[in-house]
Chains A and B, each alone.
Chain A
Amino acid sequence: MSAGTPKSLPSSGQKSIQEICHPLSAEESILSPSPDLGNTISSTGEKDLSLPNGNAVDTSSPASSSSLLNRLQLDDDLDGETRDLFVTVDDPKKHVSTMETYITYRVSTKTTRTEFDLPEYSVRRRYQDFDWLRSKLEDSQPTHLIPPLPEKFVMKGVVDRFSEEFVETRRKALDKFLKRVADHPVLSFNEHFNVFLSAKDLNKRQGLALLSKMGESVKYVTGGYKLRARPIEFAAMGEYLDIFTQKLGTIDRIAQRIIKEQSEYLVELREYSPVYSSWASSEEELQEPLDGVAACMANCCSGLEELTEEMSEDFLPVLREYILYVESMKNVLKKRDQVQAEYETKLEAVAFREDRKTPVPTDVEKCQDRVECFNADLKADWDRWQNNKRQDFRQLLTGMADKNIQYYEKCLAAWESLIPLLQDKQEARADTN
């Protein structure tokens, strides 16, 4: 965090539209222009927005700065090598105190960004801290899609919160969460994110009031306005999300069912080995082959056990994460609707005024401002989300295929190694005959 007292937010008093800065520029940290494309947005109007090549940017209308943002975001996506922020979550440790027992994770950061005082950080955080970060992000960046966290509550009797598998699954999800934030061209510059990564102690009660201007304004939008119609593109998003979440739910149920059936199959399969062994003990010629079959069966059992475990630990959590993601996205869409509704209502009220000479009231203009910003942010984030979703699912489903292939290969190897054992004896007998 840069030195300097937190500035108070610029008031939303009487200012012409030209003077209203892009909401994002109200970020507390002094965001000095950095050489990479990721950020050239300066703070509170003290610096001009400038493109990397030094040209000033026309910030007279939010629309244009949003489109700038779009361009920047796209460029960011294309050029992976300009990444200047790397975050990892690892090394879970159990802490036991008189009050409670909990797990902390090490959060390591490597960065060249000047928003950070140091190039490297290593701090310990617990789930609560991640939760804090996420709600801060939601509040301060309401127009953006915030990645989900793994589920907060676990039924104490059912799941062992301190088991290796649970902790590992959670760690992976927390790691993914931070990586997604770090990769986001806007969220990664969020002040709270910075604090989260760098502060020794995360004293949440300080109540860093670091809401963006947008955040402030959206926060106070009441739900009292009725939206006439969602614009087509957002309606399409809403529909997509509805169907998508349905399909994800179905896939989750199918995967769970498969795991259940496989577990039951495993229980029965385990019965084979002892029976074959017992048979072997009453045979002479057939003893070795039967023992071989018993060993084979045991191998197949352990392979199946592995497969079921991996599907439980790797596949299901990611699926569930996406379901949570979609839920939070639907909420963002709703917020957008509210912002638009407010604007439309206020605009209508103005239209009915008979006195046409008074200029359009500022607050209506501000509403329009907000709507357009929100839409722009959301659209950009949507495209980015679609892209990430595609990659994530490609990886997830390929992983599922791989696990199954591994299982069958293990079984195949076991059975193939049995054949020479069985056939040699056959040939040996034929020779001696």
Chain B
Amino acid sequence: MMADTGSEDVAVIGNTDQTPSELQNNIKNTMVEKGGTLLKGLEISVAEAEKRTGKNAVSIQETYTVYLIETRAVDNVSEVANPTPDSLWRRYSEFEIFRNYLLVTYPFVVVPPLPEKRAEFVWHKLSADNMDPDFVERRRVGLENFLLRVASHPVLSNDKIFYSFLTQFFVLCLLFYSRLKALNATFRVKNPDKRFAEMKHYGDELQSVISQLLRVRARVADRLYGVYKVHGNYGRVFSEWSAIEKEMGDGLQSAGHHMDAYAASIDDILEEEEHYADQLKEYLFYTEALRAVCRKHELCQFELEMAAQDLISKKQQREELATGTVRTFSLKGMTSKLFGQETPEQRETKLKTLETQIEEGEEMVKERTAECDEFVKNAWEDIERFREQKDRDLKEALISYAIMQISMCKKGIQVWNNAKECFSKM
């Protein structure tokens, strides 16, 4: 069940200035350059977040956050965006339903993930509370990123429901719950495509390694915070000491200020590092989508194998019936042996039914094979696309992480040089 791809509307990746880091822009620019079928004519952003209170489905008062989706039509000729945006508020759970729709509708696509439902891999300062403003802000960025990824996807971007999700107020219902459930099941398959098996294994490894990395990062951040903050104590003691000194006083006092500055600098440093963690998290969640595609392949393959198996067994039955030999054990065969043979007429009817079933079975196998082949072709295309995107994005992430570290080192050198100057004037 594929959505029609006849939409003419296209959305452009808007360079919104709400994004906190350079890298976010890099990724977006990359999406603009490399993404296949782009939607032009629409700028998308998740501009704001607001708290709301209301009664939920079971009439209990609750507080939740809504996010403002803004879209601006871009004039196709002049490529200038219409200044007044259309906007609509949606909450996180609506994004979830929309994503599930995509998962079910496009099973061969590695569907972009949503930002995390609950704060995980936190270090002590970062609140695990969903209402915390920092968490909300990072979620806002994550939701925007999600929409942009969908908008730059060659297949997903043409989905009509996507356009409606962005622009029209309606409530998405989860109609395809059972299909969703099916996505999570695993099947034992006799002849899986080797590439998919490898991909699934890769997905598992990537998930494991990124989880480890995020856990280490949280612990490292905790410790680093401690190191920097303790230096702030130097500020106070130098100040107190300078009070009893004559010539040494000024040098000590100013050095103390630099120690205070050093201690304060860690907050920004770790805030920036959160972006790197968010980029890793996106790919952590992407592994889920990757595995889902591989599982869908298994499902297809399974159904094909079932159909083929069924066909084989029916053919065997026909043969047995025709030749009268019982090659396979069947209860019916046994009972007929025990309770007497069938009449030739009965046999005739049976054969006829089997023949029809075999015909249908052969059709089924053909269909399923075609489905499988179609699926494998589309899925592998998207997996290739995903792989290239992942390599690009993660390399960018590593570069920006290195740049962050460089900046942190330079700040450290500067502060200590300043302190050294003060000390030398003591």
A and B: real partners? yes
Q: Which 6 A-B pairs have the closest CB atoms?
A: A401-B420, A265-B223, A412-B409, A408-B412, A397-B423, A279-B209
CA distance A261 to B263 in the complex (A): 14
| Closest chain B CB from A398 CB (angstroms) | 5
* Chain A residues positioned under 8 Å from B237 (CB to CB): 247, 250-251, 254
A286-B395, A422-B399 given as contacts; is B413 within 8 A of A412 (CB)? yes
| Closest chain B CB from A255 CB (angstroms) | 9
* Chain A residues positioned under 8 Å from B3 (CB to CB): none
Can you pick out 19 interface pairs between chain A and chain B where the beta carbons lie within 8 Å of each other?
A250-B237, A271-B219, A278-B209, A279-B206, A279-B210, A282-B202, A282-B205, A282-B209, A285-B395, A286-B398, A289-B398, A296-B402, A394-B248, A405-B413, A408-B412, A409-B409, A416-B406, A419-B399, A422-B402
CA distance A286 to B395 in the complex (A): 7
A258-B227, A264-B223, A268-B216 given as contacts; is B423 within 8 A of A275 (CB)? no
Of B40-48, B141-149, B228-236, B337-345, the stretch lying at the interface with chain A is: B228-236
Contact B412 A404 (CB under 8 A): yes
* Chain A residues positioned under 8 Å from B226 (CB to CB): 261, 264-265
* Chain B residues positioned under 8 Å from A411 (CB to CB): 405, 409
A426 at the interface (CB under 8 A from B): yes
Q: Which residues does B use to contact A, with CB under 8 Å?
A: 202, 205-206, 209-210, 212-213, 216, 219-220, 222-224, 226-227, 230-231, 233-234, 237, 240-241, 244, 247-248, 251, 255, 391, 394-396, 398-399, 401-403, 405-406, 409-410, 412-413, 416-417, 419-420, 423-424, 426
Contact B213 A422 (CB under 8 A): no
* Chain B residues positioned under 8 Å from A272 (CB to CB): 213, 216, 220
Contact A404 B416 (CB under 8 A): yes
- Interface residues as binary, A68-94 with B (CB distance below 8 Å gives 1, 0 otherwise): 000000000000000000000000000
**Main SS at interface, chain B:** helix
CA distance A426 to B234 in the complex (A): 44
Contact B230 A423 (CB under 8 A): no
Residue of A nearest to B224 (CB): A265
A240 at the interface (CB under 8 A from B): yes
Which of A250, A265, A393, A422 meets B395, CB within 8 Å? A422
* Chain A residues positioned under 8 Å from B410 (CB to CB): 408, 412
Residue of B nearest to A398 (CB): B423
- Size category of the A interface is 35 or more
A261-B227, A411-B409, A423-B399 given as contacts; is B416 within 8 A of A405 (CB)? yes
**B-facing residues in A231-271 (Cβ within 8 Å):** 240, 243-244, 247, 250-251, 254, 257-258, 261-262, 264-265, 267-269, 271
Residue of B nearest to A304 (CB): B227
A24 at the interface (CB under 8 A from B): no
Residue of B nearest to A418 (CB): B402
Which of B244, B394, B426 meets A393, CB within 8 Å? B426
Contact A398 B398 (CB under 8 A): no
**B-facing residues in A193-244 (Cβ within 8 Å):** 240, 243-244
Which of B213, B230, B247, B391 meets A275, CB within 8 Å? B213
CA distance A173 to B323 in the complex (A): 105
**B-facing residues in A269-312 (Cβ within 8 Å):** 269, 271-272, 275-276, 278-279, 282, 285-286, 289-290, 293, 296
Contact B402 A268 (CB under 8 A): no
CA distance A257 to B233 in the complex (A): 10
| Closest chain B CB from A432 CB (angstroms) | 12
